[in-house]
Amino acid sequence: LNNIAVLTSGGDAPGMNAAVRAVVRTGIYHQLNVFGVMYGYRGMLTNDIFQMESKSVANIIQRGGTILKTARCKEFYEYEGRKKAYENLKKHNIDGIVVIGGDGSFNGAQKFSQEFDIPCIGLPGTIDKDIAGTDSTIGFDTAVNTAIEAIDKIRDTADAHDRLFVIEVMGRDAGYIALHSGISTGAEHVLMPERKTEVNEIIEELQANERRKKLVNLIVVAEGDETGGANEVARRIKESCPQLDTRVTILGHIQRGGSPTCQDRILASRLGYAAVEALREGIHNVMIGVVNDKIQYTPLDKAVKAKQEIDPEWFKIVKILAS
């Protein structure tokens, strides 16, 4: 192993920079040449590849976004695109790649590593925490903390006006941001794609809450929930409970930015280091995660977006604690 490349792909997530830094510094420590690829797989196709030094990653551990930029690259889905990428990587004699991204990015890496002789290591980087083979993903903890901070502020104004707020958080296919931020802010209901929620039941409860003069209600909805998001939930509540002063807040991309939390910096640093060590040991084509505080390798084709079972006990907790 002599020359490795690192790239960030798919949606950015806070902590990606900390992971890039860890890959670069660990690689240089082992006297490898480390190359950065700009804009994810797109940079492989356009040969936007440059050699990084230790100081290229100075002062980035605390920064959100990604200094390597990111993109979703359609051409890489096609064999011709991957071939072009391979040819460009060969120009730099790259013999190992670290891809920081989500399951779509691992899918690309999996195909690439089957077709060509350059091993790939995937690191889970997404705010959604929707990847099998790891207890958390780089960016999740920061995104949840950003959501909590915002929801706490909403609670202040909800309380002042006795209002009901329906708050939409990110999570296209997974409701972890909703579940964690909902429990942490004392929300009455959490709606997420992994579990069907009857809006009618929520409406009945809201009416009961009103009778017992519980006037502040927070409902946290994952954007991917089957009910159709916060606007739809609020529309149905307004229809049945016109007396409630109902408002909607969609938190949106604020959840993707900002300085990573300690937990995300540690996860990213640990995984970035582990990625280089794995390549050096000849461990190929796996995603590296952390399970029960231990490094775990998952073959790239198994590191997929898994609609995971959510223990129903969590919803009991939501209900009991908000009652």
Q: Is 95 a catalytic residue?
A: no
274 is in an annotated binding site: no
- Toward ligand F6P, which CB reaches closer, 90 or 172? 172
190 is in an annotated binding site: no
- 127 binds ligand F6P per the rule CB under 6 A: yes
d(CA 106, CA 112): 10
| Residue 174 Cβ vs ligand F6P, minimum distance, rounded to whole Å | 8
Residue 255 exposure: Cα atoms within 13 Å on the Cβ side: 27
27 is in an annotated binding site: no
User: What is the distance of C-alpha 135 from the center of its chain?
Assistant: 12
d(CA 275, CA 268): 10
Among 11, 43, 108, 289, binds ligand F6P (CB under 6 A): 11
Binding string, residues 217-256; x marks residues near ligand F6P by CB under 6 A: ------x--------------------------------x
214 is in an annotated binding site: yes
| Residue 141 Cβ vs ligand F6P, minimum distance, rounded to whole Å | 14
> What strands lie across the sheet with 217-222, from one edge to the other?
189-191, 217-222, 164-169, 246-250
- Toward ligand F6P, which CB reaches closer, 5 or 147? 147
d(CA 29, CA 31): 5
The single residue of 12, 128, 225, 264 carrying the catalytic annotation is: 128
Please list every residue from 249 through 288 that binds ligand F6P, using CB under 6 A. Answer: 256
Q: What is the 3-state secondary structure (H, E, C) of 234-245?
A: HHHHHHHCCCCC
Cα distances from 274 to residues 18, 227, 271, in angstroms, run 13, 40, 5
128 is in an annotated binding site: yes
Q: Is 306 exposed, middle or buried (0-12, 13-18, 19+ CB in 10 A)?
A: middle
Binding string, residues 84-123; x marks residues near ligand F6P by CB under 6 A: ------------------x---------------------
Binding residues for Mg(2+) are: 103
Residues taking part in catalysis: 128
Binding footprint of ligand F6P on the chain (CB under 6 A): 11, 102, 126-128, 170-172, 223, 256
